Amino acid sequence: MEPSVIHGTFVIERNLPAAPERVFAALTDPAKKRRWFAEEGEGQAVEAFEMDFRVGGSERARFRFKAGTPFPGTALVSDGTYLDIVDGRRIVIGSTMTLGEKRISASLLTFELLGTQKGTDLIFTHQGAFFEGSDGPKMREEGWQKLLEQLAGELSR
């Protein structure tokens, strides 16, 4: 019998040519985060993006897949809770993802920012539990690689 949960952890490190304060702002300002996190997707439309940036606060992104995707018309919802915040240095989020009416994963996301002479070293750690029918660790890592590229693009604005 196959396991009903697949666990996966990955770490993505980026050297960003911006001060930690600017990177932190791109992660915490709702307008900036919406641009790089929610609006860049080609195969989905943003239906909602809300964030209450404080420990215990929540973040919610709701998308609807467009025609030509594997799940046309289906909603994808990411719900998160801010678990730990150290201003300018660290953000930890507990999150779940739901596809249609089915919960597909639960994750712990950690963003660490380390100031360097050239800007900021971003260390992003994703620890996930992926349930039946989910995208799995490999696809999720590919998705976060793309999202962090979009974050870098936001910093060059």
- Domain positions in the chain: 5-40+80-155
CA dihedral 131, 137, 140, 141 (to 10 degrees): 170
Per-residue pLDDT band for 157 (boundaries 50, 70, 90) equals: confident
Percent of the chain scored above 90 by pLDDT?
85
Q: What architecture (CATH level 2) is domain 5-40+80-155?
A: 2-Layer Sandwich (3.30)
**pLDDT tens for residues 18-28?**
999 999 999 99
Average pLDDT along the chain: 93
H-run or E-run covering 25? helix 20-28
pLDDT at res. 3: 66
pLDDT at res. 1: 58
Average pLDDT (54-82) is 94
pLDDT at res. 134: 74
What are 136's two structure tokens?
């799995």
pLDDT at res. 56: 98
> What residues contact residue 103 under an 8 Å CB cut-off, 6+ apart?
96, 97, 131
* pTM, rounded to two decimals: 0.93
CB distance 4 to 107 below 8 Å: no
* Angle in degrees, CA 142, 143, 149, rounded to 5: 90
Q: Looking at the DSSP assignment, which residues form a beta bridge with residue 80?
A: 59, 95
- Please check the confidence at residue 148 and state whether its pLDDT lies above 90: yes
> Cα-atom radius of gyration of the chain, to the nearest Å?
16
pLDDT at res. 136: 83
- Please check the confidence at residue 53 and state whether its pLDDT lies above 90: yes
